[in-house]
Each structure stands twice: as structure tokens, then as C-alpha cells.
Amino acid sequence: MPKISIIVPVCNVEKYLSKCLDSIVNQTLKDIEIICVDDGSKDNSGAILDSYSQNDSRIKVIHKKNSGYGNSMNVGMDCADGEYIGIVESDDCILPEMYEELYKAAKESNLDFVKSDAIFWWERIGYFYNVHYDYLKEYYDKVLIGNDRHVFYKFLMNIWTGIYKSDFLKKHNIRFNETPGASYQDNGFWFQTMTFAERAMWIGKSYYMYRQDNPMASIKSEAKVLAMSNEYDYVERILKDKNANSDSVKECNYYRLARNYGNYYRIADELKENFLSYVLKDYEKYGKDIADEPYLIEWYRKIAENPTEFCKSTIDVKNSNKAVLEKAESIVIYGAGKRGQYILRHLYNIGVYDKVTNFAVSGNVDTQRIGRIDVVNISELADNADYNMLVIISASNAGETYRAMESMLHQYKINNYIGSDDIINNFYSIC
């Protein structure tokens, strides 16, 4: 029996597949099996898998007709012989020590699952963002039991940074929802593992590199948009069928409503108004479960007042801000901390990343570069003030920090600037 069976679902990822497989076969933990499930790829992915399997006996390749992500994962789990199950998406990569470290922790503490943090990765621009929750520091690197379950749901929603005990998955019949396409089927698996695990751990290190610059990952079709609602219907149904506690069902409802918020800004404009009809139905049914989230309540309230006007207004604001960004010859992000980097990720998604020339700071320059972008003191930009340079202030528009940064720009006669709120509130970023 291998220590870990690693399942790799594959569908038309020839551009990224070799890098993914290289990161798996070069794990420091050698006692693994690698189960690659080719979901009817029409590119060269199948041939790449076969080539790797010929050179490494640990690799099993399953070729099948296209039937969706959920089916691929279930097929992979059915073929797995490992003590634990790991999952690697075929456009991602993992660090060499990932599975050795996870397996050691799982065995030492008899865990149903163990997870790590993640590295969000934009390969084209050389940018990495480590997802770590400082406010959860007391819960890292310790065994969490069923009584800690409310904490489980606070960590990053993902299925791929961890390993799961095979016996635990079988005991609770934890499977993937089998629907066409590759949209949201991981949500159901995540909720089931969070709900039924009795011993779990999150390691405060990052081993998994989650690619963010795969253009295939966007949401453009109405079918993909509605797949989310269908997945949460599935999650709610299966939790109730398995007599999950009410807190887990409440968490499911919260995530349903929160995902609506994020995906509204992610989807194509022509899909937004129709999507809102589903959003309002969800709010009417599950709104009681977001009583502690005022920003969500206010968002849903505005939609309910006039969905058509809300949709038009948000599209107009988005397009207005996008026009300002596209008009600029260069863009400077004033502030190089977490919010500044958050803005950068939004600009990447908007498609204006290539215009970003600098991060700027008011004090000492402690970090020379972020990704491939230089960090400079704001004073160095004064000479460019007459050019079509747009500065984005990385502070909330209504706060004292914003006013202080605005004053600094005026000192250097930099007058072409905007706040960050409209960008953050009206454009999508995953993290």
C-alpha cells in the first residue's frame, strides 16, 4: 500500500501539465502513486501523461470520455490504493517536501486530514502571494477536534493543499458531485470533509502553488454561473441526508451567499441581471444565516430594492473606472502592503497589469521589488507628475490614511489619482 495516492484530474492543459507532473514525481516522499485521469482531452495532454507513465511506474493513467471534474475525481479515488489521498490540479505545482511533511503530521497525530497554506501564483508576471491567516495563528500546527469545527470553516476553502485518510473518506462515503464541466464540484467535497472530520490540522507553511494566470479558469458562460447554485443545492442536500449538525448547514448557506457576491463581479456583464434573479431567491431562503455579515446584508438589500438599476449602476461604475485605467499611460500603486498587492491582483484581472510601473511608499523602501515591479519612494515620481501617470491610493477612500496619502501626493504636485475602493468593490479578485 502506498503512503499517498495523488489524484491529478486532467483536461486540455498541455501548456502546464509537464511542470505539474515534474513537481509530483520529484517529491521527497517516494512511496506514492500518481493517478492521472484524462477527461477526454483534445489537446496533447493524453500523450504527455502516457510519456510520463512510461518513465515512472508510480504513474497510472486513466483515459476516459469527457464527463466532468467530479466524475474524474471519483474515478481517481476508486482506483486509489494509498493510505491517504492527495489532490493536485493539473495546472498547479507543489513544493518537493509537501507530501513528506503532510504525511508525517498525519501519522504522528492520527488525523482525518491535514492541510497547509497555499501560494497563489502568477507565473507570467513572477508574482507570488502566500495565503496565511494571522488571525488564526493560535489554531495552526495543533490538532483540532470536532468541538473546534467552527474554526475549520475559517481557513481557505480548497481541497488540494492537504491529504485525507482513505478510511475516513470511505467511512463517510465522501464523494464528488458528478455534473458536466469543471465548476464548483470541489465545494461539496470540501464541506463534507470539514463537517465529518474529528481530527484535523492546518500547518502554517505553504507547499501548494495555485496558478492564477490560466485563462481557461474564467467564468464566461451562464451554465458555469448557475453551476454554483446547483453545487450548493447538492451540498445542502447531502449534509442533511447525512444528519450534519445545524452549524455546518448554516456555514453552507453562508458560503452560498458569499460566493454570489464574488461571482457577480466575476461574470460577464451580459449575465449579471439574470444572475441576480437567482441571487435574490437565495437571499430570501438563506438570508438569516448572514446576520453577522453587514456588508453582505447591505449588498443584498441594494439588489432587492431594484435589481435592474443595481445591475446598471455597478456596470456603469465598473466601466467608468476601467476607462480611467485604460486611459492612463502608466499606473503607480501608492502603498506596497497587503492592500496594495490586492489592488495589483485586481489590475491583473482587469487586463491593465502591464501599465503598472511602480509601487510607491512614503517612508523607507524596505522591499526593492514585488514580483517584477520596482518599489520606490513617492518623491521619485514627482518629475512624472505632468505625464499621464495614474496613482491608485491603496487605502479606503473614507479613512484618515487615505487623506494623509492624498496630502503627500499634493505635496509632490501629483494630482492624477484615484482611491482603491471602486476598484476593489467592482472588480473580481480571488484573494
DSSP letter at 138 equals G
Residue 244 in grid coordinates: 450534519
Is the separation of the CB atoms in 143 and 36 below 8 Å? no
Is the separation of the CB atoms in 426 and 313 below 8 Å? no
Q: Please tell me the predicted confidence (pLDDT) of residue 171.
A: 97
Q: Please tell me the predicted confidence (pLDDT) of residue 386.
A: 63
Q: Please tell me the predicted confidence (pLDDT) of residue 352.
A: 93
- b/e code 329-339 from CB counts within 10 Å (16+ = b): ebbbbbbbeeb
Is the separation of the CB atoms in 264 and 276 below 8 Å? yes
C-alpha Rg value of the chain to the nearest Å: 23
Cβ contacts of 264 within 8 Å, gap of 6 or more = 272, 275, 276, 279, 314
DSSP letter at 163 equals E
Is the separation of the CB atoms in 322 and 350 below 8 Å? yes
Q: Please tell me the predicted confidence (pLDDT) of residue 111.
A: 98
Cβ contacts of 16 within 8 Å, gap of 6 or more = 90, 91, 92, 211, 214
- Average pLDDT, consecutive stretches of 10 residues, N- to C-terminus, the chain (431 residues): 97 97 98 98 98 98 95 97 98 98 98 97 90 96 94 95 98 91 82 96 97 68 74 90 87 91 87 91 92 90 96 94 92 94 90 94 88 92 78 92 95 91 78 60
- Helix or strand or coil: residue 27? coil
Beta bridge partners of 115: 162, 202
Which residue from 198, 234, 221 is spatially nearest to 109, judged by alpha carbons?
198
Q: Please tell me the predicted confidence (pLDDT) of residue 424.
A: 87
Beta bridge partners of 131: 118
- Helix or strand or coil: residue 296? helix
The distance from CA 62 to its chain's CA centroid, rounded to whole angstroms, is 27
Pick 4-216's CATH classification: 3.90.550.10, 3.30.9.10, 3.30.9.90, 3.20.20.70.
3.90.550.10
Q: Please tell me the predicted confidence (pLDDT) of residue 327.
A: 93
Gap between the Cα atoms of 3 and 235, Å rounded: 29
Counting Cα atoms < 13 Å in the Cβ hemisphere of 285 gives: 15
Phi, psi of 327 (to 5 degrees): -70, -30
Gap between the Cα atoms of 344 and 347, Å rounded: 5
Indicate left, alpha or beta for 22 from its phi (over 0: left) and psi (-120 to 50: alpha). alpha
Gap between the Cα atoms of 429 and 288, Å rounded: 26
Cβ contacts of 250 within 8 Å, gap of 6 or more = 289
Q: Please tell me the predicted confidence (pLDDT) of residue 134.
A: 95
Domain ranges of the chain: 4-216, 224-305, 327-426
CB count within 10 Å of CB 233 equals 13
Is the separation of the CB atoms in 45 and 53 below 8 Å? no
Cβ contacts of 130 within 8 Å, gap of 6 or more = 117, 118, 119, 120, 206
Gap between the Cα atoms of 294 and 261, Å rounded: 13
Output the CATH code of domain 327-426.
3.40.50.20
Q: Please tell me the predicted confidence (pLDDT) of residue 13.
A: 96
CA distances from 148 to 73, 152, 188, 205 (A): 28, 7, 20, 21
- b/e code 160-189 from CB counts within 10 Å (16+ = b): bbbbbbbebbeeeebbbbbbebbbbbbbbb
Single-letter amino acid code for the residue at 166? S
Distance, first Cα to last Cα, the chain: 37
Q: Are 4-216 and 327-426 in the same CATH fold? A: no
Counting Cα atoms < 13 Å in the Cβ hemisphere of 204 gives: 11
Gap between the Cα atoms of 68 and 9, Å rounded: 10
Gap between the Cα atoms of 335 and 418, Å rounded: 13
Gap between the Cα atoms of 187 and 174, Å rounded: 12
